[in-house]
Structure 1
Amino acid sequence: MLIHADANAFNKVLAAKGTVIVDFFATWCGPCKMLGAVLDKVAPEISYDILKIDIDENAKLADEYEVMVVPTLLFIKDGEIIHRESGFFSKDKFMALVEAHMK
């Protein structure tokens, strides 16, 4: 499920057990829009939530997690960042990342 979140929701995810993918994006970013379309397609196919964090609305959080490029995805398991991936990529690459890092 895609969830538009803020810093409070993000911090709750980090404090909880479980697995989640976080998408740091910007509304003005072309590659973010393209990746957003990919995430819209894959969200129903995976068993993990995808938190979408707008860097303009959550600049402090983006700075805290050293998001220098958008889009940036964080793969988080039990509160630990286990993988970081930046830039646009295809559905196939996204699914490969999920398979490699989220099992």
Structure 2
Amino acid sequence: MSSVADTSEPIHVDTTDQFHDLIAEHPTVVVDYYADWCGPCKMLEPTVAELAAETDAVVLKLDIEAHQELASEASVRSIPTIQFLADGEESERLVGVHDKSELVEAVESL
């Protein structure tokens, strides 16, 4: 699989290896921890898609039901959780639904 991904849309995480590879390959990564049954996650989804389209960050969508181990590694306790990574290290984390401006500000501060 090519490591070149379309970063203008959120990338749905399929495997643990893919998750770690994407974080290693890209300097600015935003991870949206969500679940299909989560109402607030659905409310945040269009904002997350806009973030992917309008910033240089690579936006990953990680289903906590399918990837419980990764969510646990990241100490995700409630959803939605948005994790901001700079060079593989967490620089900020937002829990709950936030305005697009708050998410863009967090990306720009990376």
TM-score bucket (shorter structure): 0.7 to 0.9
Name the residue aligned to 1:79: 88
CA contact (8 A) 2:26 2:58 kept: no
Correspondent of 1:60 among 53, 58, 69? 69
Q: Secondary structure at the match of 1:76?
A: strand
> Partner letter of residue 43 of structure 1?
A
Q: Which runs of 5+ in 1 are unaligned?
A: none
The root-mean-square deviation of aligned C-alpha atoms, in Å, is 1.4
Q: 1:17 to 1:96 in 2, by over 3 A?
A: closer
Q: Which runs of 5+ in 2 are unaligned?
A: 1-7
Q: 1:74 to 1:30 in 2, by over 3 A?
A: same
Correspondent of 1:49 among 58, 61, 80? 58
Name the residue aligned to 2:101: 92
Q: After TM superposition, where is structure 1 displaced by more than 4 Å over at least 4 residues in a row?
A: none
Q: Secondary structure at the match of 1:8?
A: helix
Q: 1:51 to 1:17 in 2, by over 3 A?
A: closer
Q: Distance in 1 between matches of 2:81 and 2:94?
A: 6
Q: Distance in 1 between matches of 2:50 and 2:98?
A: 13
CA contact (8 A) 1:19 1:76 kept: yes
How many residues of Structure 1 are paired with residues of Structure 2 in the alignment? 101
- 1:22-69 Cα shifts (integer Å, max 9, x gaps): 111111101111111111223211111100000000011111111001
With the length of structure 2 as denominator, give the TM-score of the two structures.
Answer: 0.83
> Partner letter of residue 60 of structure 1?
E
CA contact (8 A) 2:12 2:61 kept: yes
CA contact (8 A) 1:25 1:54 kept: yes
